[in-house]
Structures are given as structure tokens and as C-alpha cells.
A and B are shown apart, each in its own frame.
Chain A
Amino acid sequence: MSVAGISSSAKPQASRLVAILVLAAIVALVAATPFLPNYHIRVVNSLLIYILLGIGLNIVIGYTGLLDLGFVAFYAVGAYTYALLASPQLDLHLPFLLIVGIAAVLGMITGILLGIPVLKLRGDYLAIVTLGFGEIIRIVINNVDWLTGGPKGIARLDKASILGVEIARPVEIYWLLLVTVFLVGLFVWRLERSILGKAWAAIREDQDAARGIGINTTNAKLAAFATSATIGAIAGTIFAASQRFVSPESFTLQESVLIVLMIVIGGIGNILGIVAGAAILILLPELLREFAEWRILFLGILMVVLIIVRPAGIVPRTFGPEKLIRGLFGK
């Protein structure tokens, strides 16, 4: 056998080993979580919520190459939709799934309304307009006391329940989140590989060329923005249902920046990268509680260094879910 033959046959074996190891680790973690103490399950739940947010924001940043710095606004739209429609605040108690639907539609509408004036323009402006929009939403929530309770927030939200099954304990929320992350992840992964996803990639690489081959760039960007907003709003409803309390404090600019950071560190444009980025961002502070400020300093420096040295992030774009599947079945 030639040398080339050895190297080419060794490669799939190594990648199969990596794929099996990664999958085994994920399965072990998923299976072990329900047996952990409640506190740890809550940490995993917040990890899953961040993964959900990361998957949503990644459509705009990773796939389409636009910068959205107000993502937390859509998260807030979802959370406050649940808080208003399932609490004593307005004395409304709608079922959970209905609210998820309403929040998704509201998130999409907000995304489209915000996107229309901006996405026709240069991509740069999106960053600054979304940043401003995030602040507007937070200021409005903070000041419309009669509706949102102002800085005090809204408490005593209803327990979520799906078809009569109550979802309130951390383990139950965990399963809900796991299913949501899986479904949304699958949807977005398929979307990326669809014709729309290819249009996004074309816009990211060269907008002029994309327009040249007949892509309606404004509509494709709008679709990316609306999809991402919808996922943000869905994450918000689950967040509100799991905390059973919302306040403007959860929706600051820093939160938006952290989600961007998570995507950049983990791997732009790659769902597996987002999982890694979220793990670093959520588990690191849990491990280093005393060094809260140093952690953000470290993350900021890491972000700059990674963008220069390793722009693809910790997990490169090529190491996506398909690589895992292929590695597993040895194709």
C-alpha cells in the first residue's frame, strides 16, 4: 500500500474516533443531567437557553455576516409576552404553547419592522441600529410601569404546562429545553443547507456578487433577521417560564454582547461551535465564581486574540454536525 493510501485511510478513522468521542460525551452529559442536584440542572438549563440564543443570533452573524448587537431585545419580547399573558399582571392565563406561538409571531414582526429600514442599507448600520433598538426596548420596559411593572419586573408567572403536563421543576424545564434546542438546531441546520442558506452564504462572502447572480439580498437578509428574531423570542418565553419572573435587568446590552462573544469564541457559523462557546461562557463563571470581573476581562482579550489568530473560533466551521454524522457512519 502506498504512503498516500495509508494517510487517506488513517484520516477517516481519526475523524470517526473524534466523532464517536464527541457524541458519546454529549449523550453522557444529556443522560446524566437529570440525576444532578437541582442547582446543577439550573446551570445546564441556562446553558441550553444560551445555546438556543446562540443558534438564533448565529443566523445573522455567522451565516449572513451581519452584526446584530440588540439581539436581547427579541429575547425580551418573548419573555414579556409570556409574563403578560400568563400572570396575574393582566389576569390572563393562556396556555404555554399558544404563548410560544404568539411570541414567535411577535418576534418575527419586530424583526421585520426593524429590519426593513436598515437592511436595504449598508450592513454596518445594522449593528448600531440594533444596539439602539435594544436600548429602546429596555428603556421602554423600564418606564411603562402600568404594563411591565417597571424595574420591579413581573413576578408570580404561571407554571408552564403542555397538554396538561406541568413543566415547572428544573428537570422538566430541562427536557423542554433539550427538545426545543434539538428541534430548533435541526431546523436551522437544514435551513443553512437549503437554497436560502446558500443565499446567506453568498451575501456573507460578497454582496455584490450575490446580487449579480440574482439573489434578492434585501429579502434574504430580512429572512435571516426575522428567523433569528423568532428564535430569540421563543428562547425568551422558555426563559420566563423557567424563572417565573422577568425584569429588565436580564435584558441589558452586556447580555447581547455576551451572546456575540459566545458565537465568536465558539466558532462563527457552526452549531457545534455555539455549544462549545456557550459551555465556556456559562460553565467558566460557575467554576470561577470569585473572579467574576477577571472572567469578562479574559473573555474580551480572548475574543480579540481569537479573531486575529483563529478567526473561525475554537470549533472550525468545517467541524459541523454533518462531520459528526459522516464520521459515525464512516462515509
Chain B
Amino acid sequence: MLGTFIQQTVNALTIGSIYALIALGYTMVYGVLRMINFAHGEMFMLGAYAAFLVLTVFVGDIGAVGAFGLTLAFFGAVIAVGFFGVGIERLAYKPLRNSTRLAPMLSSLGVSLTLVTGVQILAGPQPVAFPSFFPATRYDFMGGTVTSVQIGILVAAFVLMFALYTLVNRSRMGIIVRAVSESRPTAQLLGINVNLAISAVFFSGPLLGAAGGILYASYYGIMSPTMGAVIGLKAFTAAILGGIGSIPGAMLGAYILAFVEVGGTALLPLITNGVLGTEYRDVLSFAILILVLLVKPAGILGEPVSEESMVYKREF
């Protein structure tokens, strides 16, 4: 019993870390631009494909890649996707900054469709086996099994999130981003380079999302062009759960969602006597989303914003 408990806790922490990495991108973009970036799930997918590409092109034999090659592929891929994100913002969202609130969202929907189909055409629609980025060792820990992949994911995610947290709270760039997130017109009046802040967000968000994609693909050993859709939706749920626009909120929401999901999947068949099985896991996450919106729309750590105060104003 204790073994199962530990096992499930580690599973939830692993998947929660991946959700958190993606949720951060949603929350930061929403923070500065007040838009839902539907193409963000695709950054997650692109991360896995970019890492795979770097491995096949520059390292060659995937089976015998050393630690150096894997590190190179990881950082090469996430930085490439980061720059890609900045480019997409410049091309598809920036011209719409003074347009209606609907326009950038529709544009991101088009970007998402383009990226998924583009990858489908270039790499084929079928799922591809993905090499593990961590040696496959299993450790028995108080009756539960913990793999080194899980430990690697946890460590990598914690390091990345800590780096982001430090950057946002301690660096000059972080101050700029927070100022723009607080109020774009005021930041502009104070002489802050708003475009720089937005580019920083569109670099770090996709970068973290891509890292999440690589970790996810090496956890499940598989990647596919459509892998971003459902995970993206869940990460967005996590961002709302924690309070959209709040960086610690996104992390907290992601772990809560992961624990509810893992716990729910284990308990649902027991509680309902097998009527509701594990296939209802996704339904559970969306039910949580609707419940949060009903009970506490601002999320756990989000500031209680009223509709009038910020949302439909044209300056966004």
C-alpha cells in the first residue's frame, strides 16, 4: 500500500513537472498580452521533434548517443524553439496588437493548425519512437519503483523553473516583464521597451514548453505531431487553476492537477465500481476546470480581477 502510494506520488510529480513547464508559457503570454496562445501546445510538440532532428542530423546514430550529445540536443532544441516562438510572435501576433481581442487568438489557432500539419507533412503523421534522454535504471524505494527517467525529469524541471523564477524576480529583464505584465500602457510611458519584454516572454515560454516536450517524449518513449493538443489544454487548465498570469500559480496548479488526475485515475474505478474507468481521466481534468471557473475564477494564487477592471479594455 505504501509502495503504491509512493509510486503514484512520484508519477504525479513527474507529470506535474511537465504540465508546469508548459503552463508557465501560457501564463506568461497571458500576463503580458492578455491572449490565449493556442499555438503553445505546438511548441511542446516542436521541442520533441527539434531534439530528435538535432540527434539524427548532428549526432547520427541515436542508439549510441553519449551524455554530451544528449545535452547538446536538449539545449539546441529548446533554444531553437525559443527563437522560433519569438519569430511567430513577430509574424503572426505583433501586427494584431491593436486589433480586437479575438484576432490574435484566431491567428494563434491558424498557427497551431499550420505547425501540426507542417510537421505531419515533413515527418509523417504516425507516432515516432523517441530515445530516452536518461539511462534507464530502476530504483526500489520503500516498496515503490522509481526510474531514473522520472528523477531526471524532476531535476530538469526544477532547475528550469528555479532559473525562470530567479530571472523574473531578480534580473532587470524580469522587472521589465513584470512591469509590462502589470500595465502595458504605463510601462510604455515609463520608457520601458515593451517589445523587448514581449519577445523575452515569447522566448522563454516556448523554450520551457519545448523542454517539457522533450521530457514528456523521453518519459513515454514516443512523439507524434498531435501530442500538443490535449497536453496543451491540460497545461492551460493548470494555469487557470493556479491563477492565470501568476508564475507560482501555474506551477502550483500543474502539480495539483497532476495529483488529482493520478489520484482520480486510481480511485475512479474503485469508487464507481468500475463504471467510470481510467478513460475518464481527461474528463476529470476538464470537470476541474469548469468547477474552478464556477467557484474561484481568479484561481488559487491569481489576483481577484473583475471583468471591468482589465479585461475588455481596448488597450490590450
CA distance A308 to B108 in the complex (A): 12
Contact between A261 and B279 (Cβ–Cβ < 8 Å)?
Answer: no
Give, as a whole number of angstroms, the nearest-CB distance from A313 to chain B.
Answer: 11
CA distance A294 to B118 in the complex (A): 8
Cβ-defined partner of B102 (8 Å) among A61, A140, A206, A253: A61
Stretch at the interface among B199-207, B209-217, B228-236: B228-236
Per the CB 8 Å criterion, the residue count for chain A at the interface is 47
Residues of B near A100 (CB, < 8 A) are: none
Quick check: is B142 within 8 A (CB to CB) of the other chain? no
Q: Which of A272-322 contact B (CB under 8 A)?
A: 293-294, 296-297, 299-304, 307-308, 311
Chain B residue nearest to A128 (CB atoms) is: B236
Give, as a whole number of angstroms, the nearest-CB distance from A178 to chain B.
Answer: 30
Contact between B36 and A253 (Cβ–Cβ < 8 Å)?
Answer: no
Contact between A297 and B233 (Cβ–Cβ < 8 Å)?
Answer: no
Residues of A near B117 (CB, < 8 A) are: 293, 296-297, 300
CA distance A308 to B297 in the complex (A): 31
Contact between B109 and A260 (Cβ–Cβ < 8 Å)?
Answer: yes
Looking at B121, B290, B308, which has the most chain A CB atoms within 10 Å of its CB? B290
Quick check: is A257 within 8 A (CB to CB) of the other chain? yes
Interface mask (B292-316 → A, CB under 8 Å = 1, otherwise 0): 0110010000000001100111100
Contact between B102 and A303 (Cβ–Cβ < 8 Å)?
Answer: no
Contact between B283 and A136 (Cβ–Cβ < 8 Å)?
Answer: yes
Residues of A near B308 (CB, < 8 A) are: 208, 211
Residues of B near A308 (CB, < 8 A) are: 92, 95-96, 107
Residues of A near B283 (CB, < 8 A) are: 136, 139-140
Cβ-defined partner of A297 (8 Å) among B36, B118, B279, B294: B118
Contact between B286 and A132 (Cβ–Cβ < 8 Å)?
Answer: yes
Contact between A208 and B282 (Cβ–Cβ < 8 Å)?
Answer: no
Interface mask (B76-116 → A, CB under 8 Å = 1, otherwise 0): 00000000000000011001100111110111011111110
* B interface secondary structure, majority: helix
Cβ-defined partner of A301 (8 Å) among B110, B236, B297: B110
Contact between A293 and B121 (Cβ–Cβ < 8 Å)?
Answer: yes
Give, as a whole number of angstroms, the nearest-CB distance from A73 to chain B.
Answer: 12
Interface mask (B162-195 → A, CB under 8 Å = 1, otherwise 0): 0000000000000000000000000000000000
Q: Which of A199-213 contact B (CB under 8 A)?
A: 204, 206-208, 211
Contact between A67 and B92 (Cβ–Cβ < 8 Å)?
Answer: no
Residues of B near A67 (CB, < 8 A) are: 102, 105-106
Q: Which of A62-87 contact B (CB under 8 A)?
A: 65-67, 69
Cβ-defined partner of B314 (8 Å) among A122, A133, A206, A303: A206
Chain B residue nearest to A294 (CB atoms) is: B121
Known: A207-B307, A301-B114. A132 touches B233 (CB 8 A): yes
Known: A65-B102, A125-B240. A131 touches B233 (CB 8 A): yes
Contact between A299 and B290 (Cβ–Cβ < 8 Å)?
Answer: no
Chain A residue nearest to B289 (CB atoms) is: A132
| Chain A residues close to B by CB (< 8 Å) | 61, 65-67, 69, 117-118, 121-125, 127-129, 131-133, 135-136, 139-140, 142-143, 204, 206-208, 211, 253, 257, 260-261, 264, 293-294, 296-297, 299-304, 307-308, 311
Q: Could you give 8 example pairs across A and B, Cβ below 8 Å?
A: A67-B106, A122-B312, A123-B312, A127-B36, A264-B110, A294-B121, A303-B107, A307-B96
Given A208-B308, A308-B95, 9 more A-B residue pairs with CB atoms under 8 Å apart are A124-B36, A133-B286, A136-B282, A136-B283, A136-B287, A293-B121, A307-B103, A308-B96, A311-B103
